[in-house]
Amino acid sequence: MRRFLLVLAGVACAGFLHAADEPLPKAETLLDGYVDATGGRAAYEKRKSEIMSGTIEFAATGMKGTVASYSDVSNNNYTVVELEGIGKIESGVYNGQPWESSSLQGTRLREGAEKADAIRDSTFNGPLYWRKLYSKAETVGVEDVNGEAAYKVVLTPNEGKQQTIFLGKKSGLMIKRVATISNPMGEIPMEMGMANYKDFGGVRMPASMTQKVMGQEFSISVQDLKTNTEIPKDRFEPPAEVKKLMAAK
């Protein structure tokens, strides 16, 4: 699902609330519980590929577009977003190298912390592998997220900035995520909300997502998600301009 998003960023700094006598569950219990709440390890392990399509809309301007994403167990992925009046924005990870190409920012390879973020988020069935992706996970409190009490868990990746996720106390589902990501414009905070979880091929995923970044808010609605559909290997190959950059590197 993360590969369906344009950016990931923003560390929340709001204070947390919980009763003084309420013991907080360990982060590992909550993260393993998320896997169970969304279908269980066996259901995830049956998933070998994912093709997702949906729509995107910006709240302030009403600008709309479409988004499609392809990924499989190779950890290669390809995402394309087409926006009204802007055109096509392509991105992906190919043989361990993240890249992006658009008429707005041109063609480039993602490096440094940005590369680490992209590779981590491209991990297929990522919830199963949180112990490999993060060096530390800590439950720090309970907060109200849109009227729902949620455990606040801070994740420290092996490389890059900390990020914070919020897991519903009752549902065990992830309902909010904040992080900080590096890109050519610097470090950008972002907040992402998840809702409307649905069963896609045995695993529950959010069909509605809202992101707030750089003063902009946009929503993504999943229209279709297919699992275990064969994806041609050349689907993950980047455009010729990207291949030239990779060759030069």
If you search the block for the tokens 């707030």, which residue do you land on? 212
- pLDDT score, position 183: 79
φ and ψ at 124, to 5 degrees? -70, 135
Segment 163-183 shows an average pLDDT of 95
- pLDDT score, position 21: 53
Domain coordinates in residue numbering, the chain = 2-248
N-term to C-term CA, the chain: 30
Instruction: Give the total residue count for the chain.
Output: 249
Token pair of 94 as six digits: 């190919």
Class at the top of the CATH hierarchy for domain 2-248? mainly beta
Least confident of 7-11, 81-85, 152-156: 7-11
Per-residue pLDDT of 31-49, as tens digits, reads 999 999 999 999 999 999 9
Q: Higher model confidence: residue 225 or residue 185?
A: 225
CA 193 centroid distance within chain:
11
CA 102 → CA 105, 143, 200, distances in Å?
6, 38, 30
Q: Higher model confidence: residue 203 or residue 183?
A: 203
Residue 150 contacts residue 169 (beta carbons within 8 Å): yes
Euclidean distance between CA atoms 111 and 98, whole angstroms: 8
Secondary structure class of 201 (helix, strand, coil): coil
Q: For the whole model, what pTM was predicted?
A: 0.88
State yes or no: pLDDT of 4 exceeds 50.
no
State yes or no: pLDDT of 127 exceeds 70.
yes
If you search the block for the tokens 């399509």, which residue do you land on? 53
